[in-house]
Amino acid sequence: MSFDLTEQRFIKETGLEARVSRIVEPVANGLGFSLVRVKITQENGCTLQIMAEDENGRFTIVNCEKLSKDLSPALDVEDPIEREYHLEVSSPGIDRPLVRRRDFAAYVGHDVKIELSDMINGRKRFRGFIKAVDDDALVITLPDAPTGTDPDHRLPFITIGEAKLVMTDALMEKARIDQEAHPIDDDETETVEYAEADNDDETSQADDPETETVEDTAESNPPRETK
């Protein structure tokens, strides 16, 4: 599947997160990365979490450091968050958010949780497997549909507020196969999947030898996600 940096994200941020994403996305694209999501949480006082990916849907520690380094001056100039915050750059993880059509198409047959922006036929939340994807919508099959009802629901992309894969054995196996097809270089396998920095630092913590970095392994422990 082709990697289009300009492909529309159907699931977008609002408010302050949308303002931050307008700063982040062109920086990420300039490095050849796609923005997945921007999220602001109250973790550690205030944390700006940025998920991005390369053409294989992953993000190594080297990529995290590149994006963090280029983002810091852009965020300092625009100063969208009027308080001290931590910058956290990460991969989407195995049970990743789905934000573009290509994401849904890549995971046909896998379990997903979906929350709509508005109700369709009196329902807003769906959990099932992706049966099919077309240009405008996906079809989700609900395994717990009542007897005598159609288990398939067509959900237009523009109605989706949030979508996320469910961790399953099948998903773990797909991740293993993807890893074998696109192995990470040896010098990147020590792997921290995200780097953190304070907004008043000139460089990221990953560039500061005196700053402790939070470490994780890409295969066994996908990046933290704070809800």
pLDDT of residue 57: 87
Give the contacts of 6 (CB within 8 A, at least 6 positions apart): 29
Q: Which ranges of the chain have pLDDT less than 50?
A: 1, 186, 189-196, 200-227
pLDDT at 64: 95
Query: Do the beta carbons of residue 222 and residue 95 sit within 8 Å?
Result: yes
Cα separation values, 170 from 65, 161, 177, Å: 31, 25, 11
pLDDT at 183: 83
pLDDT tens digits, 115-168: 999 999 889 999 999 999 999 999 999 999 999 999 999 999 999 999 999 999
Which tens digits make up the pLDDT trace of 93-105?
A: 999 999 999 999 9
Q: Whole-angstrom Cα distance, residue 30 to residue 218? A: 24
Backbone CA torsion sign across 19, 56, 33, 43? positive
